[in-house]
Structure 1
Amino acid sequence: MDVTTGVAGTKRVLVAAAVMVAALATAAVGCSTQQKGPDGARQGGEARALTRPDLPAHQPHPLSERQKDVLHDAEELLTRSCMAAHGFKTWVVPRRPLADDREFPYAVDDVRWASQHGYGGDMAARRERLRLSDPNRRYFAGLAPSRQKRALDAYHGAESTKRITVKAPNGLSISRADGGCVALSERKLYGDLATWFRVTTVTDALTGMRRQMVQKDAEFKSSVEDWAACMRKRGFSYASPEKARIAFADPHSGVPRKEEKPTAVAEARCAAATGLSRSVRRLDQRYGERLNDIYADAVRTRLRLENEALPHARAIVRSQ
């Protein structure tokens, strides 16, 4: 199976012409790459998994959130300059447009956040409003069809452009154009585009792989059973945190919206009381380290390229 992608800051997948408008818009509004730990604490991308005391002292360090922002902004500024040279406009939007946006991959376990946002339904609505108001989206939608085609060719590279193909950890072949403004911006920052595409394809897949490994672990399943028993004592019958989250995400589930915050708060308290938070924190680290060992070359190469790109990225951002 071949999956064709375009990359700009965070990866964008173009599966049909119908989503081209969203593809031109900056992906930061709808899909933040910031990851949070299983206990709800903010951590940049693979920061938890990549921080290893046994690595050599010269090992490049994982980027902070601020450093990730700098790289994102530099990529977007370079892309904007390139698109302007082709006669088109683009706007830079923040990588993290919503400060309170959080992700809880295993269970909501921040009582304060849960009391304010429940399972994040309000955040989803805010993300959608930002997406619809994105100046990139509005600008592209206002172009004539022929200009839209030329804008996409300038942005992602024309269909005739040479393609780079790599194999993801799941065995899928992923390809992208070797030309276009996005490719140019990444080449200017990271050097060898083929290497950058290879290592980001691999490392971006590790988050999902790690979480699947945690969720299949017997310790996790046992902790979830204890969590469910705790929830039943509080009057909430859900077999897992995932089931509870899905119930409130589905508008046709029939679950009263007023129950979202009380349920999420109970989930957070039971995650702490039963040890689920501690369990997933431990498992998340264990499997993260295992995957980083398996894919050590890609992990270390990406860290090196990102760290080497930072001085240039800072200079680009300061010049604006």
Structure 2
Amino acid sequence: MRGGIMWSGDRSSAVRDVLGATVMGATLIAVVGMAGCGAATSSEKRDAVRPEERLRELTAAEEVLVEKAEQLLVEECMEKAGFRFWVTEVESVESRKGSVFVLDDVDWAKEHGYGGRFRRDAEEARRNGPNGTYANSLTQEERARYRAVLDGTPSSGMLSVALPGGGTVRTPRDSCHARAKGRLYGDFKTWFRVEKIATNLTPLYVPALTADKRFTKALAAWSRCMDGRGRNYSDPFEIRAELDLLTDGLSGAAAHAVEVGLAVDEAECAEESSLADTARALEDEYRAQKTRRYGEEIAAFQRMRLTALDRAEDVVGA
């Protein structure tokens, strides 16, 4: 995750941020072993490469691997505390492609629309999955202890981080989630700080990006293209905001058809107007300009994620 706007294409591993910016009068809310013999272990591979040569973003497939490893470590932690915990499916590589500012993958749009089926399946799994069912089967006292062990409580101490764009986030210092992250990333306190900074940088550069004439020109061209198809939208967020209303009360198949029609128009207009390409290029430009003072935290974020990837390979492989 790069902590930026979710553009489409090969940036689909970008962080799912909430950002605020004014675009043509509209407020946009968006929602990146054994030493001495045999092959090198993950730890040896990690030590053999200088950090400055290996810093990069994780791919979507690598993010899936890390998240699966985290669940396995949470399972181990919960079982040690006397509770059961089931490792469930994490968000797939395919579904992550839909969390973007503007779709420009026409083939994906034709098959998935805006990914509504993925979201509905995930919600169903959360509601009726084994972990929720198990927690609800516990006594009130045991359920409270289960939640405390899994998520932590303020009584164990809290970590706090000031966000680049203002505001503060806090989390319990100790929990099975915290311990799992600590084992993957190396130090939970440091990880929490750099992760929250690196994934909340958009307020620093989005206002300048969305005010850039290259962006407003591409956005206006996209809007004209949509208008020519009978879709009166000034930006992609208007579609996202209206989608629930448009599909309310429809069957799953009918809702999917509505999604696909809108999504395909959006993607084809994004290609015609070059909106997604323009946005990606401008994000690189303005992010580099506006976030230099957080370079150390960004580098640490990338380094710790790569460390987690190596450790995740060992955890999942075992």
**TM-score class normalised by the smaller sequence:** 0.7 to 0.9
Q: Distance in 1 between matches of 2:90 and 2:4?
A: 12
Indicate how the Cα distance of structure 1 residues 34 and 144 shifts in structure 2: closer, same or farther if over 3 A, else same. farther
- Report the secondary structure of 2:147's partner residue: helix
Residue in structure 1 matched with residue 13 of structure 2 by the alignment: 44
Give the drift of 1:91.
1.4
Residue in structure 1 matched with residue 228 of structure 2 by the alignment: 233
2:175 aligned to 173, 180, 197, which one?
A: 180
- Report the secondary structure of 1:205's partner residue: coil
Residue in structure 1 matched with residue 267 of structure 2 by the alignment: 268
Post-superposition CA distance 1:93-133 (Å, at most 9, x none): 23324734532533222222222233333333222222223
Give the drift of 1:167.
1.0
Residue in structure 2 matched with residue 18 of structure 1 by the alignment: none
Residues 1:205 and 2:200 aligned together: yes
* Contact in 1 for aligned 2:159/2:173 (Cα 8 Å): yes
Query: What one-letter code is carried by the residue in structure 2 that aligns with 1:45?
Result: A
Residue in structure 2 matched with residue 223 of structure 1 by the alignment: 218
State TM-score, norm by structure 2: 0.75
* Contact in 1 for aligned 2:5/2:101 (Cα 8 Å): no
Q: Distance in 1 between matches of 2:249 and 2:148?
A: 45
Residues 1:85 and 2:80 aligned together: yes
Q: Distance in 2 between matches of 1:216 and 1:254?
A: 38
Post-superposition CA distance 1:62-88 (Å, at most 9, x none): 223333233222222222111111111
Residue in structure 1 matched with residue 149 of structure 2 by the alignment: 154
Q: Distance in 1 between matches of 2:61 and 2:233?
A: 38
- The percent of aligned pairs where both chains have the same amino acid is 28
Residue in structure 1 matched with residue 242 of structure 2 by the alignment: 247
Q: Distance in 2 between matches of 1:232 and 1:310?
A: 44
1:111 aligned to 106, 109, 113, which one?
A: 106
* Contact in 1 for aligned 2:55/2:299 (Cα 8 Å): yes
Q: Distance in 1 between matches of 2:246 and 2:172?
A: 38
4+ residue runs over 6 A deviation: 32-36, 252-256
* Contact in 2 for aligned 1:228/1:238 (Cα 8 Å): yes
Q: Which runs of 5+ in 1 are unaligned?
A: 1-31, 50-55
Give the drift of 1:219.
2.7
State TM-score, norm by structure 1: 0.75
Q: Which moved more, 1:96-105 or 1:109-118?
A: 96-105
Query: What one-letter code is carried by the residue in structure 2 that aligns with 1:200?
Result: E
Q: Distance in 2 between matches of 1:260 and 1:179?
A: 42
- Report the secondary structure of 1:196's partner residue: helix
Q: Distance in 1 between matches of 2:310 and 2:232?
A: 52
Give the drift of 1:207.
5.3
Q: Distance in 1 between matches of 2:88 and 2:305?
A: 20
Give the drift of 1:176.
1.6
- Report the secondary structure of 1:164's partner residue: strand
Residue in structure 1 matched with residue 126 of structure 2 by the alignment: 131
Q: Distance in 1 between matches of 2:121 and 2:180?
A: 29
Query: What one-letter code is carried by the residue in structure 1 that aligns with 2:194?
Result: V
Indicate how the Cα distance of structure 1 residues 290 and 260 shifts in structure 2: closer, same or farther if over 3 A, else same. same
Residues 1:60 and 2:29 aligned together: no
- Report the secondary structure of 1:160's partner residue: helix
Q: Distance in 1 between matches of 2:300 and 2:93?
A: 30
Tell me which protein shows more helix as a share of its residues: 2
* Contact in 2 for aligned 1:37/1:281 (Cα 8 Å): no
Q: Distance in 2 between matches of 1:36 and 1:95?
A: 21
Give the drift of 1:134.
2.2
* Contact in 2 for aligned 1:101/1:123 (Cα 8 Å): no
Give the drift of 1:145.
1.2
Residues 1:141 and 2:132 aligned together: no
- Report the secondary structure of 1:243's partner residue: helix
- Report the secondary structure of 1:165's partner residue: strand
Residue in structure 2 matched with residue 16 of structure 1 by the alignment: none
Give the drift of 1:296.
0.8
Give the drift of 1:305.
2.0
Indicate how the Cα distance of structure 1 residues 144 and 211 shifts in structure 2: closer, same or farther if over 3 A, else same. farther
Residue in structure 2 matched with residue 306 of structure 1 by the alignment: 305
Residue in structure 2 matched with residue 296 of structure 1 by the alignment: 295
Q: Distance in 2 between matches of 1:214 and 1:105?
A: 16
Residues 1:102 and 2:71 aligned together: no
Q: Distance in 2 between matches of 1:110 and 1:222?
A: 21
